[in-house]
Amino acid sequence: MKSIVLLFISLLVFSCTDGVTENITSKESEISLDFTEKTIANIHSAYEAGTLTSVKVVQEYLDQIESIDRNGPQLNSVIAVNPDALEIAKALDADWKAGNKKGPLHGIPVLLKDNIDTHDKMPTTAGSLALKNSFPPKDAFLVERLREAGAIILGKANLSEWANFRGELSSSGWSAVGGQVKNPYDITRNPCGSSSGSGVAVSANLTMLAIGTETNGSIVCPSSLNGIVGIKPTVGLISRSGIIPISFTQDTPGPMARTVTDAAICLGTMIGVDSKDSKTSISEGKALGDYTPFLKKDGMEGKRIGFYSSPMGTNFKVDDLMNKNIELLTEMGAEIVEIDEITPSETGSLSFQVMLYEYKDGLNHYFASLGDESLIKSLDDLITFNRNASEEMEFYNQKYLEMANEMESLDSEGYIETLEALRRSSQDEGIDRVMALHNLDAIVSPTGTPAWKTDHVIGDHYQLSSSSPAAQSGYPNVTVPMGYISGLPVGISFFGRAWSEPLLIEIAYAYEQASQHRQAPEFLSEAF
């Protein structure tokens, strides 16, 4: 029997005495502002009109987190709120009033996945009890860039513990620190991961933006299952320094938003060469500080797009929805070329081996960066901690941590050969080959399936995914809502060559404007 979590309108709609409507007639009027589905442009227009302040925006989001995330449906998407957020907002209001707009995100609240360091009153935990009281010595590079752009760090988002690379039979969105994140379209279902809280909080209108991280699927999958936009950039476009790592080769942070426009604005604020992340040196001359010029409604016209059909044939409902959207792309002026495979069969195994090698090295370096006061100083320490923490081992094991700990160093012949084999397989013989062969501008595929029921007994129930070719090569991927199956959102992915973010944003924006699939969640329970 269908049941619905009943929420009063006050849980879904914000009101304020100095808000904004579409037609502002008086700054002194008492105006109601519904924060649901608002954009950066909406908020900045209200700031400009003097009808809204950063303090009010932050307070309303904090109230919404309290009402919906911690009470009400209890989504568990926010692991911590920033106790200084209101003070930061107050200072930004003063700057705005003085005519000093700091940047494109001035006064805009942003949640960070809780594997991204902040040097403030919030710990960075990766969802693990081992780091529950870990306070990093400085902001991650991307956090510095966000602050420079005027963003307000609202808090930390819950995640799949250790970015879902800890052990077997895990449930995406579960961490020992934050508990299980719930999908806002049906709270009995899974949000996917590992950027679970980031995806849910944006979808549920608990923040304007969130930052996720991806090694393989961890931005695009939770974006798809939660009905939002996610951009996984080319590895090296945004620095990874100050982010708890898995893979130096595949890790990247990226923006998660309700619209392509907001995601594109956020993306441009985080780029920059960072001496602490050598991958970023390659981005010089390729990164852009502003991706909004590529938001073109006719951006699909004349594009030659490869339809990656390998994920098809597993779920007929996804197939039907995808085929309808392929028809839409054609109507929009794109030429569609079907491709069944992108990378050789051994690519997945090579990627997994590289991840294991790099995980051990990356974690040990990260733990060392925390200083002498850190409880955990090595991967050995972490494994030992978990073995003695019943809360950590209640649902699944730590096999991947243990496998990584057995790997040789990054100067070993085995690592060097495997890394080169992965590069060749995923790039030269993968995306680069396919796109050159068919003269493609981009590749399109369904991002995944609708959300499955959360299951702590046998873990996640994946059926299909298209994230691996872009993830394993380190190339960009953009996912956008493409419709609903029984009320559950499903995304469509556009990916392509290295540094092709402008082209992918152009295509994704044109598709979004033509389709307009995004719908706010209703917090149903056991509805389907």
Give the separation between CA 120 and CA 328, rounded to whole angstroms: 47
Of the candidates 472, 353, 464, 382, the one whose C-alpha atom is nearest the C-alpha of residue 130 is 382
Written as one letter, the residue type at 332 is M
425 is catalytic: no
Give the separation between CA 195 and CA 206, rounded to whole angstroms: 15
Residue at token pair 């991204």: 116
- Alpha carbon 23 to its chain centroid, in Å, reads 33
Q: CA distances (Å), 238 to each of 261, 271, 281, 445, in order? A: 18, 5, 10, 25
196 is catalytic: no
Of the candidates 401, 404, 521, the one whose C-alpha atom is nearest the C-alpha of residue 5 is 521
Give the separation between CA 354 and CA 324, rounded to whole angstroms: 38
* Cβ contact 434:342 at 8 Å: yes
Of the candidates 227, 178, 262, 315, the one whose C-alpha atom is nearest the C-alpha of residue 523 is 227
Give the separation between CA 322 and CA 316, rounded to whole angstroms: 10
Give the separation between CA 237 and CA 234, rounded to whole angstroms: 6
Beta strand pairing status for 152-157 and 78-81? antiparallel
525 is catalytic: no
Residues written for the chain: 528
Residue at token pair 């994946």: 462
Catalytic residue among 160, 175, 194, 203: 194
Give the separation between CA 315 and CA 308, rounded to whole angstroms: 15
- Residue 115, token pair as written in the block: 């594997």
* Cβ contact 316:474 at 8 Å: no
Q: Does a cis peptide bond (omega within 30 degrees of 0) precede residue 194?
A: yes
Helix (H) or strand (E) segment spanning residue 317: helix 316-331
Catalytic residue among 134, 218, 374, 426: 218
Active site residues: 113, 194, 218
